[in-house]
Structure 1
Amino acid sequence: MTVVRRTVGVAAVTALLCAGAVACGGDSGTGGGAPQSHAQVTQALTAAYKKTAEAKSAKVEMTMKTPVALGDGGTMKMSGTMGWDPTVMDMTMSGSAFTAADPQAPENIRMVWQDDVMYMDMGAKAAKDMDGKRWMKMDLGAAAKQSGDKTLSSQLTGGVDSMNQDPAQQIAVLLDSPNLKHIGSAEVDGVQTEHYKGKLTVDEMMAKNDSLKMLSKSERGQLLENVKKAGVKDYDTELWINDDDLPVRMDVTMDSSQGAIDMSMRYSDYGAAVKVDVPPAGQTFDFMEMLKEIGAAAGAVNGSDAADSGLDSDV
């Protein structure tokens, strides 16, 4: 269960970051080049927004680093192919974010995503405990409907809505940065690019995030309060765009009271075909059904203990 909880948490965050095209961290070299006016910067990012939306897919390599002080800290790497509009992924995840939770966790976890359903390969060890089934299935949309909990339903469907965002929308959000600027020319992985940078406060980011509109005013207020309690004040975003008006790299850094949260994503092969082979039903176990069974078993044990206690009292 420890592995499952950590995997689900990291996978959900990763899917959100990937589909939202948010990434950051790492060193970057910046060269010369004529400075661009604000109008030229806006024009460049607008072109990148349009081209990214049209591409609909790309190969991705992502690294996310979170402070150990946050409890779930560590490094997580992810690579593979993803598509947007609709969301589809075939990615492999690895890193200390998994093994720190449980030394028995698999070193690599493959995640496939299709039709708002996520499948994760939990490895051979998990299969031994799940009747030979190694793939965990998470249907967030169905789970939201079955929960009967309005708040939980909003959170789950909101997560799906966020994951379904076109990655170009994140570039559109960056366009709203009041201090967006051109840093200069730079070479990234052998590709000549133009380097841009902008900053958004937490309030500005939340105001522009369409996926948060499904939350009530009080829920948005609570989320904003929790983010600020963690010491996160703003988001520094850097973007490298190639001569084809496509992002080669995007970086985002968030400073918190526990330390910096860094993510870095690199893109290539835009328009690459994304074909997801969903595992057969015979090789999958449903995460929500597993939780129900655990809850039922716990209830039965508690009921038995209560009965025994009553019997002892009568005696």
Structure 2
Amino acid sequence: MGMTAWKRAGVSLAAVVVVTGVAGCQDGDGAKKAAEAPAKPRLQTHEAVTKVIQAAYKKTSDAKSAKVRMTVTMPAAMDGGGTMEMTGVQGWNPGVMDITMKGSLMAAGDPDAPEQMRMIVLGDAMYMDMGAEKAAEMDGKRWMKLDQSKGGGLGQMNQDPAQQLALLLESPNLKHVGAEKVNGVETQHYKGTLSFEQMLDANKAKSATLSKKEREKLIANVEKIGMKGYDTDVWVDAAGYPVRMVVDMTTAVGTVQIKGDYTDYGPKATVQAPPAKDTYDLADMLKGIGMGPDALRAG
């Protein structure tokens, strides 16, 4: 499987949902009344919205895990585009995932890519089940390990909902859109936008690792592809948990979108690394043939 797929699947992003009103009715005598204007939803104040998202962040952060169904969609102008669906369990603090992936984004130009693949993430380490056929070529080792600490820029896979809520709180135009049912659950829909610079400033844990030169280069590259910012939508249920989160990034060549549906929050997710005897480290293997971390970054 090509490395480009993992870089593309790690991009975080959103969508906008329209809320409609209600129509008129008949009087008690059965005579028709003139059509009434659609009722406007009763929207919360900015102060109330902030309190809701803060409370949702606290509950989500404390839950530490949830079942997730996530869909990544990329426009055709980005390496052919496509979709990827990921289902499984996700945990945060610490960051872990155990998911199964399928979709056209997995191929990334590799005709031999499997129809679906299991992936495990434990902190900086990502393990991918390459299947029995690949295992036969690797002395029976079917799990490939990619370690962020050894380079490769692959550490953006685990975009947890608590982190996204924290970023949403930094939006200067955070607002309440209205009531909406999602997957059969009654929710309230909220929306906000961040520029790339605002997102980087808010996401201090990641931006702190960048030098001034790296930050400037990153921003320049983002501007080059015409990205304006992130639109983030969240649907919060009556218990205060996000049921759905969608992040949308519009670029000069189209929109990248990630939609995540979450259920069964907590307890702490139990995710284990594959047995060492069944695992080979890609970075170590490349190093053994004279190739370093740059080979991972280049894809």
TM-score range, shorter-chain basis?
0.7 to 0.9
CA distance in 2, matches of 1:62, 1:35: 28
Secondary structure of the 2:67 match is strand
TM-score (norm: length of structure 2): 0.83
Cα contact 2:15–2:231 (8 A) shared by 1 = no
Q: Does 1:71 find its partner at 2:79?
A: yes
Secondary structure of the 1:244 match is coil
Cα contact 2:90–2:160 (8 A) shared by 1 = no
Residue aligning to 1:150: none
Q: Give the partner amino acid of 1:218.
A: K
Q: What is the alpha-carbon root mean square deviation over aligned residues?
A: 2.3
The structural deviation recorded for 1:45 is: 0.7
**Where do 1:42-61 residues align within 5 Å?**
42-61=50-69
Residue aligning to 2:263: 268
Residue aligning to 1:253: 248
The structural deviation recorded for 1:10 is: 4.6
**Where do 1:31-50 residues align within 5 Å?**
33-50=41-58
CA distance in 1, matches of 2:217, 2:223: 10
Match of 1:188 among 173, 182, 192: 182
Any idea what the Cα deviations from partners look like across 1:63-94, whole Å, max 9, x if unmatched? 01111212162111111001110111111111
Change in 2 beyond 3 A, CA 1:7/1:71: closer
Structure 1 residue runs of 4 or more that deviate by more than 4 Å after TM superposition: 25-33, 162-166
Any idea what the Cα deviations from partners look like across 1:146-202, whole Å, max 9, x if unmatched? xxxxxxxxx75xx65x66786423212211211111110000000000001111112
Change in 2 beyond 3 A, CA 1:239/1:220: same
The structural deviation recorded for 1:4 is: 4.2
Residue aligning to 2:279: 284
Secondary structure of the 2:290 match is helix
Secondary structure of the 1:43 match is helix
Residue aligning to 2:168: 174
Cα contact 2:132–2:142 (8 A) shared by 1 = yes
Q: Give the partner amino acid of 1:277.
A: Q
Q: Give the partner amino acid of 1:199.
A: T
Higher mean C-alpha deviation, range 183-192 or range 206-215: 206-215
Secondary structure of the 1:178 match is coil
CA distance in 1, matches of 2:267, 2:172: 34
Cα contact 2:68–2:261 (8 A) shared by 1 = yes
Cα contact 1:56–1:83 (8 A) shared by 2 = yes
TM-score (norm: length of structure 1): 0.79
Residue aligning to 1:197: 191
CA distance in 2, matches of 1:72, 1:275: 36
- Unaligned 5+ runs, structure 1: 18-22, 145-154, 297-315
Cα contact 2:126–2:147 (8 A) shared by 1 = yes
Cα contact 2:98–2:121 (8 A) shared by 1 = yes
Residue aligning to 1:206: 200
CA distance in 2, matches of 1:197, 1:115: 29
- Unaligned 5+ runs, structure 2: 22-39, 292-299
Secondary structure of the 2:111 match is coil
Residue aligning to 1:24: 14
CA distance in 2, matches of 1:214, 1:6: 23
CA distance in 2, matches of 1:290, 1:10: 23
Residue aligning to 2:238: 243
The structural deviation recorded for 1:114 is: 2.1
Change in 2 beyond 3 A, CA 1:4/1:289: farther
Cα contact 1:201–1:234 (8 A) shared by 2 = yes
Secondary structure of the 1:292 match is helix
Cα contact 1:30–1:184 (8 A) shared by 2 = no
Identity %: 48
CA distance in 1, matches of 2:20, 2:62: 28
Count of aligned pairs: 272
Q: Give the partner amino acid of 2:273.
A: V
Cα contact 1:63–1:263 (8 A) shared by 2 = yes
Cα contact 2:2–2:108 (8 A) shared by 1 = no
* Structure with the higher helix share, 1 or 2: 1
Cα contact 1:59–1:270 (8 A) shared by 2 = yes
Change in 2 beyond 3 A, CA 1:40/1:26: closer
The structural deviation recorded for 1:261 is: 0.7
**Where do 1:105-184 residues align within 5 Å?**
105-141=113-149, 143=150, 156=153, 160=155, 167-184=161-178
Change in 2 beyond 3 A, CA 1:82/1:54: same
